[in-house]
Structure 1
Amino acid sequence: MIVCMYEKNDENALPVEAKKKEVPLKKQSSDSQETQDKNKIVFFEGCKLAFDLEDLLRASAEILGKGTFGTTYKASLDENTTVVVKRLKEVTVGKREFEQQMEIVGRIKHENVDALRAYYYSKEEKLIVYDFYQQGSVSALLHGRRGEGRIPLDWESRLRIAIGAARGIAHIHAQHGGKLVHGNIKASNIFLNSQGYGCVSDIGLAILMSPIPPPATRAAGYRAPEVTDTRKSTHASDVYAFGVLLLELLTGKSPVPVAGSEEVMHLVRWVNSVVREEWTAEVFDVELLRYPNIEEEMVEMLQIGMACASRIPDQRPKMTEVVRMMEEIRHVNTGNAPSTESRSEVSTPTNYALDMMMMASTSVPPQ
């Protein structure tokens, strides 16, 4: 039995109540039966799912979102099996290159990386299958409409999300001889694992797609300034995107449009401008003000976020260094959730983080 994800790549982070619309996946597939028989679904080792393409296309499906790389569905194969299916669009590579990338991603096994369970490739149809996470994405948790059962994320939850996502990205960067890049890090691609830590999804799809001009994607708020071709993302641009995500967790403000809000800002520039004016306390999400004794931790996390989001790629820390700095704030080890009881003392911000924050704040031009 797999109980997996609810909202994949939903850039607008609409609450599930607003998007329940069942659609037959089969209607949108133009593959012939001969093609379907020739191109079987490929399952990865450790996946306990068992279905064929016809089962998947007949499944009761709910559109969860239309994002940069395609449309995402919640598919119920039976009463005990729910998966997320992403129907990819604008795939420009051939079958061999597509399969090679899927094999690289499919081999990743880490508690902070959303496992790719299966994929299907044919001339007319490209599908990938993930787990379904009932809680939804971090974007939905942060920016979902008030008054519809949304519970504000407390500081402990945001720390777990940030630390888990950092661990996941660091692990991704170590794969394939250190050549693997995520390429699309954003709050709508981060979910919560069973321990409440961030879990990174949608890995390595950017290089398979048509290049998207910078103004044309709704994920532009996470994109590093040096990236002009989405297929040429780097470890450093992933670090920048993580920095934006961390600032989003700290401020409660989204760098991309979200449902129910017309507020869209250049989050990195705004944070830098506030810090330059020495109004740092004004940066933090008002929902965090109710929690005592977290100011120092928030400032330290802010320093890390600003260092990651430096305009100059060489000034950004590596993800392994980011993980180390974040874990030092709470003195946590892998697998240990941070808790109030473990916070007997707060570590002093590293000189590295402080230096990087100053570089970041002085290298961003005014808006």
Structure 2
Amino acid sequence: MNLCCSDHAASAKEPMKKSKKKELSMKEESSPSRRDENKIVFFEGDCNLAFDLEDLLSASSKILGKGSIGTTYKAALEDVTTVVVKRLKDVNVGKREFEQHMEIVGKIKHENVDALRAYYYSKDEKLVVYDYYHQGSVYSILHGKRGEGRTSIDWYSRLRIAIGTARGIAHIHTQQGGKLVHGNIKASNIFINSQGYGCVSDIGLTTLMSSIPSPGNRETGYYAPEVTNARKATHSSDVYSFGVLLLELLTRKTPIYYSSERGQAFHLVRWVKSVVREEWTSEVFDVELLRYSNIEEEMVMMLQIGMACAARRPDQRPKMAEVVRLIEGIHLENRSPSTESRSEASATTIYST
């Protein structure tokens, strides 16, 4: 059996730190009745790394996060290969439908789409395997604690994340005769590829689930107003979620965030619209971005695109292909890092993918 791992995954083969609290075996949390004759299904790749279910479940692992779809692990195999394993919960479809969806997603090959490397299905266990991105998710970069993922992130890095993510979603929307929907666009499902561009993961997994995030969960802030069932997401609702992500990149606030000053929770889209309506636009942006000069016009352009995507009515939102064109047009041809005294990014390479 073969597992394909791309370069960015291979670069993440750092030794696992031994920690009794943070390190565990996935086998410890698996059901003893899970064992059956089903095998891990691998997709074609350019490198041959053999392991079986027992190897995967016994691998030294660290929980990266728990969400509405399941628990995500960073698993270090004995040959030092590092992969990401998502253990799905509340799967509401049978084996055939599950496998059909995996086959559709597994065939997607695009630099801005996280490749599905393998999957496993049994009565008690459903697993999907992806590459490991050493920089972590965009959510951890934007909102993680200092020293635990959150980092300083300049304007051009954010713009590359937006461009890559838009391209990835637009490509997903062309699959299966234009019928494939992501359904769960959020910062924790976006990673950064080796070129620094956004890369979209977890395609269509919500369609396999029997439940959706409960009210009050921060994930609900990404859902379009018309989406009452995450399994019935559309291209238009994906566009809305992407709009929320753009606002998140600009403000560094979560979709539903708590203000300690006012002692209440705010919905990011509604807050941004209220601030812009009062013509206090500059107060929207992350203070870290205000350190840079000559980028205000570009930030305002992204803000306008984000608000257009997050329009309340689906028919008022642009198509994803149009969104890609708009975002790629943000960077002005005559703009270069030399006009920014403190920018750490190279604007001249912003479209070199």
Tell me the TM-score normalised to structure 2 length.
Answer: 0.86
State the AA in 2 paired with 1:144. G
State the AA in 2 paired with 1:113. V
State the AA in 1 paired with 2:116. L
> Which residue of the partner structure matches residue 311 of structure 1?
312
* TM-fit CA distance, 1:98: 0.3
2:115 matched to 1:115? yes
Aligned partners of 1:257 and 1:23: how far apart in 2? 32
Asked whether the equivalents of residues 218 and 254 of structure 2 are also in contact (C-alpha less than 8 Å), the reply is no
Moved over 4 A (4+): 16-20, 31-34, 147-150, 260-264
> Which residue of the partner structure matches residue 200 of structure 1?
200
State the AA in 1 paired with 2:107. R
Aligned partners of 2:34 and 2:24: how far apart in 1? 21
State the AA in 1 paired with 2:22. K
Q: Deviations over 1:155-178 (max 9, x none)?
A: 010000000000000000110101
Asked whether the equivalents of residues 330 and 342 of structure 1 are also in contact (C-alpha less than 8 Å), the reply is no
Tell me the TM-score normalised to structure 1 length.
Answer: 0.83
Aligned partners of 1:199 and 1:253: how far apart in 2? 20
For the residue of structure 2 that corresponds to 1:109, the secondary structure is coil
Structure 1: tracts of 5 or more residues without a match: 7-15, 333-337, 344-367
Aligned partners of 1:320 and 1:177: how far apart in 2? 15
> Which residue of the partner structure matches residue 184 of structure 2?
184
For the residue of structure 2 that corresponds to 1:219, the secondary structure is helix
* TM-fit CA distance, 1:27: 2.2
* TM-fit CA distance, 1:292: 0.9
Aligned partners of 2:21 and 2:205: how far apart in 1? 26
Pairwise mapping of residues 347-358 of structure 1 onto structure 2 (< 5 A)? Answer: none
Aligned partners of 1:118 and 1:341: how far apart in 2? 37
Aligned partners of 1:296 and 1:83: how far apart in 2? 40
2:347 matched to 1:340? yes
Aligned partners of 1:130 and 1:263: how far apart in 2? 37
* TM-fit CA distance, 1:92: 0.7
Give me the CA root mean square deviation.
Answer: 2.8
> Which residue of the partner structure matches residue 77 of structure 1?
77
* TM-fit CA distance, 1:26: 1.2
Pairwise mapping of residues 138-153 of structure 1 onto structure 2 (< 5 A)? Answer: 138-146=138-146, 150-153=150-153
* TM-fit CA distance, 1:5: 10
Aligned partners of 1:238 and 1:288: how far apart in 2? 26
Asked whether the equivalents of residues 163 and 326 of structure 1 are also in contact (C-alpha less than 8 Å), the reply is yes
* TM-fit CA distance, 1:218: 3.4
State the AA in 2 paired with 1:46. G
Structure 1 residues 218 and 342: CA distance shift in structure 2, 3 A:
closer
Q: Deviations over 1:72-106 (max 9, x none)?
A: 11100125300000100000100000000011111
Aligned residues between the structures: 327
Aligned partners of 2:264 and 2:61: how far apart in 1? 32
Asked whether the equivalents of residues 257 and 267 of structure 2 are also in contact (C-alpha less than 8 Å), the reply is no
For the residue of structure 2 that corresponds to 1:289, the secondary structure is helix
* TM-fit CA distance, 1:207: 0.6
Aligned partners of 2:145 and 2:291: how far apart in 1? 20
Higher RCO by CA contacts (8 Å cutoff, separation 6 or greater): 1
Aligned partners of 1:341 and 1:83: how far apart in 2? 33
Structure 2: tracts of 5 or more residues without a match: 12-16, 334-344
2:3 matched to 1:4? no
2:29 matched to 1:42? no
2:302 matched to 1:297? no
> Which residue of the partner structure matches residue 22 of structure 1?
23
The alignment-based identity, stated in percent, is: 71
